[in-house]
Chain A
C-alpha cells in the first residue's frame, strides 16, 4: 500500500521538531547533570551528532522504498511473518512512548499546578485530546503542527527574562570538560532519551513529495540541528542559573528557573508556561499516536478511526496502571527500547536490504515506465 506524497521538507522540519521536543525537556538539565555535571551540554552536542548519522541511515533505508512506510517495507525486507512481528513491536514501542509522556506530564502538572486534581482525570483529558487530535488526515496533522511550532520559540523568548535575574552566573559552566571525557560520553546515554522521536521518520519519509532527493534529508537534518541547539541552550541556561547543589534536588530545573522570574504583570511565569507547554506536548502525542494508529490499522486492517480509539484506550489503561503503581520501570525500559528501535533495528534492516538486494515492487514498475 503506497501512500501519497504530501509533505514538503519544511513540513518535515516542523513535524520532526515537534515530535522530538516534548515533555522530556523540562527535566533534561537535571538528568544531564546527574552524570556529566556542568558539561551536560557537550553530551547533548555529541548525541545530536550521533542522531544525525542515524537519520542518514534511516533516510538511506527509506530511500529504497519510496512512498512506503515502515509498516509496509518491513514485510518486504524480512518476510511477511517476521515483518508483522517487527511492525507489532514498533507499535508497542510508540504506544509506550505515549504512555511515558502521559505519566510524566500528568505528574508534573499535579506537582506544579493542580495538586488536588486526581491523576486519572488529567490522564482522561490527555486521552480525549489524543482521540480528538488523531482522528484526521495527515494533511490536518501537518498543518496544525506548523502552527503549534510557534510555541517552541515562545519558550526561547521567555528565557530572556531569566537574564534579568541577579543569580545568573556564567562561571558555573567553567571549566569546560572538567567532568572528564568518559563521564560526558556516559551522559549521552541519559540525553539520548530526550532525542527520541526521530524514529517516526521511518513513517514520515514515505509521505515526502520527493523522498529520493537530498532535500528530504535536509528537512530532517535541520530539525535535528534545531533540536540539538535548543536543548543545548536550555541545559546551558539552567546550569548557569542554578548551582550544582540546587540542580541535584530540582526535578524540573526549567520550571524552577521560570518561577523565579517576576514581570510586573505576571508573578508566576512557570504556571502559565507549563499550561502553554501542553500545546507542545500535545503535538508530540499526536505525532506518535498518529503513526501508531497507522500501524495498527495496517496490521489488523481496521479503519484509522477505530485504530486511534484502540491505541488511545490501550495508552489510557496502561498509563493509569503505571501511574498508580508508581512504577519508574517505564523510563528504564524506554532507555533500552530507544536504542533497540531507534538504532539497532534500522541498521539491521538497512544491512539486510543492501545484502539481499531487497526492493519495493513499485519502484521496479517506475523504472520500466
Chain B
C-alpha cells in the first residue's frame, strides 16, 4: 500500500489520526529512529524519521530550514519536498517511514501528520549491462532502484499510454513491485491475469524477482522459461511496444517481461539494428545452434553405436581409428566429457576474469587433449562436446540455454538405448510438451505450434519494419500504415 497523494487540502488535514507512541512501539523503539522538535512561528513540530533511510542533507535543507523560516502555518505551501502526503493511520505512517519518508507532526494538536519524501539513494549509476551485451544497441542497463528503472523505461517509451501500477508484496518484509504496460497495446486479458496472479502472492518475504516468477508462471514442471528476464531498457521497451507487460521489482536490475514465447528468447536488440536479412540470418543461426546443442551428442551416440552404415565409409574409418582405443561405450564416453565440461562451466562463473582465461586454457585445452591421448575419450567425442558447448553459448538468453542442459542428458540416454528412433521419440516428447505450454494463456511455441506461417515474419525471420503492417496474433492492437517506403514510388524513374 503505497501512499497516494491527495489533491484537496481539506481531506488531508481532517483524516489524520495518529499517535507517536504507537508508531515507535511498532518499530520496536529501534535505535536509528530519530525524533526532533522544532519551534517555529509559535508552533512546535515533531519530525520523526529513520536515520539510516533518510538523506540528512535533504532533510536539513528541504524540511528543517524552510520549517524554521516559516511565516504562516501552511505546511503544504512552505515546504518543498518531492512528495507530500498525509499519514492516514499509524500503519501508513510506519510504512512511509520504512520507505524513507519523514513524519511531520504538529505537537499541540498531535493529530496532523504529513509524510515528506527525504529518502537517501545509494544506487549505482546506470552502466552497460554485463550479461546481455550487444554490438550496436544502447549501452544502458537497469539498476537496482525501482524509480530509476521506470525512468529508464519511460525515457525510451514516450507515450501517453505508458501505465504504471504499484504493488507491495510480502507480509513480514515488504518489496515494491511495479507493473508497466502500454494501455492500448497490451492485451487487457493478460493484464487482468497478471494483476490477479500478483495479488494472490502471499509469500512471507520476496528474496528476488525469482520468487515472483515462481508464483506467477503457468507451468512449474518444465525446463523452459516462460518469462523473459532482461536487464536492457531498450529490449524491455521494444517488448512493451509489442504489447507485452513488464514487471519491475525493487532492488533488482532484472525486469520480467511477459508473456514470453519460445521465439522471444532468440531475439536480441541487434536484430533490429542491423539490416533485416542479416538480422534474420543471425536469428536463424541461433535457432540452428539451439537444435545442434540439443541433439548433436545424442546423434553422435546413435550414429556410432547403432547406425554407422548411415555415415559415409571414409568417416567411419577415421572415427574407428580413434574410437578403438577407448574402453567405454560412446554414451559413457560422452557423459564423462559432458560432465567435465559442466564442471568447467560452473567453476568459471565465479572466477575473476583474469584467472578465468588461464583456467579456460588449462581446463579446456590441456585436459581435453590429455583425455584423448590417454584414451578416455575419442577425437569424435571431443569435437561433439566442444561444438555442443559452443552452440549452447550462442543463445542470447541464459535460461533458455540451460534448458539444453536439462534436456540433453535424457536425449543422450534414449539415443544410447534406441538409436536414431530413440532421438525421434525424445524430440517428439519435447515437441508435445512444448505444444502444451502456455505463457499467461498464450501458446508458448506459438508460430510453430499451432502453425501460423504469417507470424514467422517477426519470430523466425525478421522482415523489414515497414513491411510489418499486418497484425500479429499476439498483439491484437498493433497497427501500422504501410506508407513508410512510399517515396520509392515517387522516386523511381521508368525504364525509358
Contacts and interface: CB of A to CB of B under 8 A. Distances in A.
A140 B435 contact: yes
A14 B453 CA distance: 14
Nearest to A109: B421
A282 interface: yes
Given A142-B450, A275-B421, A132 B432 contact: yes
A14 B452 CA distance: 13
Nearest to A141: B435
B431 interface: yes
A354 B195 CA distance: 54
B402 to A, nearest CB: 24
B310 A144 contact: no
B349 interface: no
B421 A278 contact: yes
B251 to A, nearest CB: 39
Contacts of A332: none
B451 interface: yes
Given A267-B309, A268-B309, A278 B443 contact: no
A143 B435 contact: yes
Dominant SS among interface residues on chain A: helix
Contacts of A117: 418
Nearest to B435: A144
Contact of B420 (A148, A272, A279): A272
B312 interface: yes
B365 interface: no
A85 interface: no
Nearest to A113: B421
A144 B421 contact: no
B425 A125 contact: yes
B154 to A, nearest CB: 37
Contacts of B306: 113
A271 B431 contact: no
Interface in A277-293: 278-279, 282
Contacts of B420: 113, 271-272, 275
B428 A278 contact: yes
Given A133-B432, A267-B311, A268-B307, A147 B424 contact: no
Contacts of A348: none
A272 B451 CA distance: 24
A43 B309 CA distance: 37
B436 interface: yes
Interface in A223-267: 264-267
Contacts of B448: 147
A129 interface: yes
Contact of B419 (A113, A125, A143, A264): A113
Interface residues on B, range: 20 to 34
A275 B424 contact: yes
Given A132-B432, A144-B449, A271 B425 contact: no
A115 B479 CA distance: 58
B432 A271 contact: no
Contacts of B307: 113, 268, 271
Contact of A129 (B418, B425, B435, B450): B425
A272 B435 contact: no
B418 A268 contact: no
B442 to A, nearest CB: 12
A142 B451 CA distance: 10
B420, B421, B424, B428: most-surrounded residue (chain A CB, <10 A): B421
B311 to A, nearest CB: 7
A113 B311 CA distance: 15
Interface residues on A, range: 20 to 34
A172 interface: no
B428 to A, nearest CB: 6
A117 B418 CA distance: 8
Contact of A278 (B309, B310, B313, B424): B424
A45 to B, nearest CB: 29
Given A143-B449, A144-B435, A114 B418 contact: yes
A146 interface: yes
A147 B309 contact: no
B136 interface: no
A150 interface: yes
A282 B428 CA distance: 9
B423 interface: yes
B241 to A, nearest CB: 27
A272 B427 CA distance: 14
Contact of B310 (A133, A136, A272, A276): A272
Nearest to B313: A267
B421 A147 contact: no
A275 B303 CA distance: 13
Nearest to B443: A143
Contacts of B418: 114, 117, 125
Interface of B: 306-307, 309-313, 418-421, 423-425, 428-429, 431-432, 435-436, 443, 448-451
29 contacts: A14-B451, A113-B419, A113-B421, A114-B419, A117-B418, A129-B428, A129-B429, A132-B429, A132-B432, A140-B435, A143-B443, A143-B450, A143-B451, A144-B431, A144-B435, A144-B449, A146-B450, A148-B431, A150-B451, A265-B312, A267-B310, A268-B310, A271-B309, A271-B310, A271-B420, A275-B421, A276-B424, A278-B425, A278-B428
In the A-B complex, the 6 residue pairs with the smallest Cβ-Cβ separation, listed nearest first, are A143-B450, A146-B451, A147-B449, A144-B435, A275-B424, A275-B420
Interface of A: 14, 109, 113-114, 117, 125, 129, 132-133, 136, 140, 142-144, 146-150, 264-268, 271-272, 274-276, 278-279, 282
Given A143-B449, A143-B451, A268-B310, 14 more contacts: A113-B307, A113-B419, A114-B418, A132-B429, A132-B432, A143-B443, A144-B432, A147-B431, A148-B431, A265-B312, A266-B310, A266-B311, A271-B307, A282-B428
